């Protein structure tokens, strides 16, 4: 049965022609065989491409490395969760009884997936230009206030410099777990700080992203506040 999604359409600024696509984007695999994972796969690629193109034109003097870090910030899990919560996607998502009882509508990863699936659904319901307008409208404030300096500092390099200057040792990164299916993996990484006998964790959709997150978490704890 199709949901009444008129209030969601107002929030996202898009009216679906084929409402079954919208409903599929909000359906978890625990509820139905026709769920949102394929749409999430499609939406993830579309979001990454559109954000990459926007950054390419917005920052014509930045190199590939900095553009990659800016894109990583804009498509990271927390940003997607914030977007999903802004659109109240959890209120529209459909789950099986078990997932519903366990609080699936509040789980960050499921909200991220639904947000990306919604992008995939809009693309299939319309075209690339339309979904591009939607995404850039949603990201308008984040793009306007995006700080190159803030988001292109390499946390791994900063952590290594700090440790070599204090204990003459390098941080050691180790993958502790890989979650999810082959096409949608989440890497869990732990960084060890040598003789400081401290470890910190990070997660990301690639090993590199997870290592950056682990390094950032470590820096948040070991650097004096004025330097971090």
Active site residue 82: no
Instruction: Point out the catalytic residue in the list 44, 99, 125, 211.
Output: 44
What are the backbone dihedrals phi and psi of residue 126, each rounded to the nearest 5 degrees, phi first? -135, -105
Q: How far is CA 192 from the centre of its chain?
A: 25
Instruction: Point out the catalytic residue in the list 40, 99, 116, 211.
Output: 116
Active site residue 220: no
CA distances from 99 to 28, 41, 93, 107, 209 (A): 9, 21, 11, 10, 28
End-to-end Cα distance, the chain: 51
Question: For the chain, how many residues are written?
Answer: 228
Active site residues: 44, 116
């Amino acid at each position: 049965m199709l949901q009444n999604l008129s209030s969601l359409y107002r929030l996202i600024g898009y009216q679906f022609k084929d409402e079954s696509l919208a409903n599929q984007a909000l359906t978890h695999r625990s509820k139905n065989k026709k769920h949102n994972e394929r749409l999430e796969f499609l939406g993830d690629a579309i979001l990454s491409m559109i954000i990459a193109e926007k950054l390419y034109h917005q920052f014509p003097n930045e190199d590939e490395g900095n553009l990659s870090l800016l894109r990583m910030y804009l498509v990271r899990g927390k940003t997607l969760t914030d977007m999903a919560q802004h659109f109240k996607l959890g209120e529209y998502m459909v789950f099986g009884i078990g997932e519903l009882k366990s609080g699936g509508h509040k789980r960050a990863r499921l909200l991220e997936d639904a947000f990306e699936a919604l992008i995939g659904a809009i693309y299939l319901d319309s075209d690339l230009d339309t979904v591009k307008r939607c995404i850039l409208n949603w990201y308008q404030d984040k793009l306007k206030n995006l700080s190159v300096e803030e988001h292109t500092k390499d946390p791994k390099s900063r952590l290594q410099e700090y440790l070599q200057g204090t204990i003459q040792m390098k941080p050691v990164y180790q993958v502790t777990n890989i979650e999810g299916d082959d096409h949608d993996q989440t890497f869990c990484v732990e960084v060890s700080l040598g003789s400081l006998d401290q470890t910190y964790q990070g997660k990301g959709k690639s090993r590199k992203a997870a290592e950056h997150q682990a390094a950032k978490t470590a820096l948040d704890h070991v650097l004096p506040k004025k330097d971090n």
